[in-house]
Structure 1
Amino acid sequence: MPAALTLTHWGHACVRLERDGRCLVLDPGSFGDLSVLGDADAVLVTHDHPDHVAADELVAAVSARPGLEVWAPGPLVDRLAEEGAPRDRLHVAAGGDRFTAAGFDVRVTGEQHAVIHPDVPRIANVAYLVEDVLLHPGDSFTPPPDGATVDVLLVPVAGPWMKVAEAVDYVRAVRPRLAVPIHDAILSDAGRALVDRLVGGLGGAQEYRRLTAAEPLVYEPPVR
């Protein structure tokens, strides 16, 4: 039987996965709680926006902890190296890649950030499918790789590049067993309640669950 993993939400787009004493962190940005980096074994970053990567703090963490490795799109890897992160522990993540990070199997898909406005240049954005069950799309509505079945979708629910109807349609397209809302730092409590009613009510996931800060969710992957 596949081993259980523990998922916690550390604010905005940042989540942490734990299994067998190892920690994988995704998108530790400036809108989240950056203490999550304290015992991370590996970090995955979807794209180079400050709400998804706090570059100074990540460079400091990689420099201070010899075992910590980072995967990110190529332009961000170059920037982190220029800012002092050890280059041998920075890895380029591009669509089609597959690797192991902190003991977790990771598949990479996607290429670009969603359109914010025609006048705003698009940057590289990748999505990460972890253990073939959990998908973090960054700032995009990237579908899973062909043939993949997503059990847990980390669904963005607010941002200057999206509207709530797109989040609903994304959940409908991916058809996860569990949808967990992320990317919501710009919302008030009333706004979170509204998007939860809409995305949770209309998306069609078997379960829609908002996680409070650092609330652990133990997830048992299905036997396939």
Structure 2
Amino acid sequence: MKVKKFGHCCLLIEEKGIRILTDPGGYTDLDVVVRQARNIDVILITHEHADHIHVLSLKRLLENNNGVRIITNEGVGKLLDGEGIKYEVLGDGNVIDIDGVKFEAFNGNHEEIYNDFGQVQNTGFFINDRLFYPGDSFHDPEREVDILALPVAGPWCKIGDAVRYALKVKPKKVFPVHDGMLRIKGANHKVPSRFLGKNGIEFVVIGEGNSYDFG
């Protein structure tokens, strides 16, 4: 499994010949994403916040990638219905197999920002029984996770909570996401790197525009 980080939560995941794009939204250079994200098979959208979906860029991606399947939830679906964009809803606990790659959905709510502000439906995705991408949530999939995409910044995300979440899930490797709003890239990486490493969890930093092969 190979992961390229365009920025924030926009990832290009390659697994068994399938190319998967996640959350093409704000805090990411979407012009770069549109130019470089070609031959995409699946687009996963966790929720409807603007830093996870930018409709105009999504339309441009669809123009460049014929036959791509959008997998998401009902909340995002309402937004896409208004734009005439086709999608598939993957319900909580349901699994879909696309050319030998499994996708399992974990539905819940966005982590609290303040009371019910921003409390939209959020879907985490477990990809091929290896990588868990939770979106904006600290949901424990209660699965054996090899790789965790760990949110490390945001109005809902304290770094201590992020570390405790990773320790609860107990993946073999972690890489940080949801950090595009930081003025200094990597500012929130020191604490999880230190404490996760002490607990046998490898902390892998993937710089914007770079890739990492998890094997």
Cα deviation for residue 60 of structure 1 reads 3.6
Matched, 1:91 2:84: no
Matched, 1:167 2:162: yes
Partner-residue secondary structure (3-state), 1:39:
coil
Cα deviation for residue 19 of structure 1 reads 3.4
In structure 2, give the amino acid aligned to 1:109: F
- Cross-structure match for 1:15: 11
In structure 1, give the amino acid aligned to 2:113: I
Q: Indicate if the aligned counterparts of 2:71 and 2:90 stay in contact, CA closer than 8 A.
A: yes
Out of 8, 29, 34, the residue aligned to residue 33 of structure 1 is 29
Partner-residue secondary structure (3-state), 1:159:
coil
Change over 3 Å in CA distance of 1:117–1:101 after alignment to 2: farther
| Structure 2 residue runs without a partner (length 5+) | none
Describe how 1:40-55 pairs up with structure 2 within 5 A: 40-55=40-55
Per mean C-alpha deviation after superposition, the further-off stretch among 154-163 and 97-106 is 97-106
Aligned-residue Cα RMSD (Å) equals: 1.9
Cα deviation for residue 96 of structure 1 reads 0.7
- Cross-structure match for 1:151: 146
Q: Indicate if the aligned counterparts of 1:98 and 1:108 stay in contact, CA closer than 8 A.
A: yes
The superposition leaves residues 3-32 of structure 1 with CA deviations (integer Å, 9 ceiling, x where unpaired) of xx2111110011111134431011111222
| Percent of aligned positions that are identical | 28
**TM-score, structure 1 length as denominator?**
0.86
Q: Take 2:63 and 2:81, find their aligned partners in 1: how far apart are those partners?
A: 10
In structure 1, give the amino acid aligned to 2:213: V
In structure 1, give the amino acid aligned to 2:15: R
Cα deviation for residue 62 of structure 1 reads 2.6
- Cross-structure match for 2:79: 79
Larger strand proportion, structure 1 or 2? 2
Change over 3 Å in CA distance of 1:54–1:192 after alignment to 2: same
Partner-residue secondary structure (3-state), 1:80:
helix
Per mean C-alpha deviation after superposition, the further-off stretch among 209-218 and 40-49 is 209-218
Change over 3 Å in CA distance of 1:14–1:65 after alignment to 2: closer
- Cross-structure match for 2:211: 216
Q: Indicate if the aligned counterparts of 1:93 and 1:108 stay in contact, CA closer than 8 A.
A: yes
Aligned residues: 209
Partner-residue secondary structure (3-state), 1:201:
helix
- Cross-structure match for 1:199: 192
Q: Indicate if the aligned counterparts of 1:27 and 1:44 stay in contact, CA closer than 8 A.
A: yes
The superposition leaves residues 119-171 of structure 1 with CA deviations (integer Å, 9 ceiling, x where unpaired) of 51511001001011101111110111x4x211111000000012111001011
Moved over 6 A (4+): none
Q: Indicate if the aligned counterparts of 1:59 and 1:80 stay in contact, CA closer than 8 A.
A: no
Q: Indicate if the aligned counterparts of 1:94 and 1:111 stay in contact, CA closer than 8 A.
A: no
Change over 3 Å in CA distance of 1:183–1:65 after alignment to 2: same
The superposition leaves residues 49-94 of structure 1 with CA deviations (integer Å, 9 ceiling, x where unpaired) of 1111112221343355431110111121232132122x3xx10122
**TM-score, structure 2 length as denominator?**
0.89
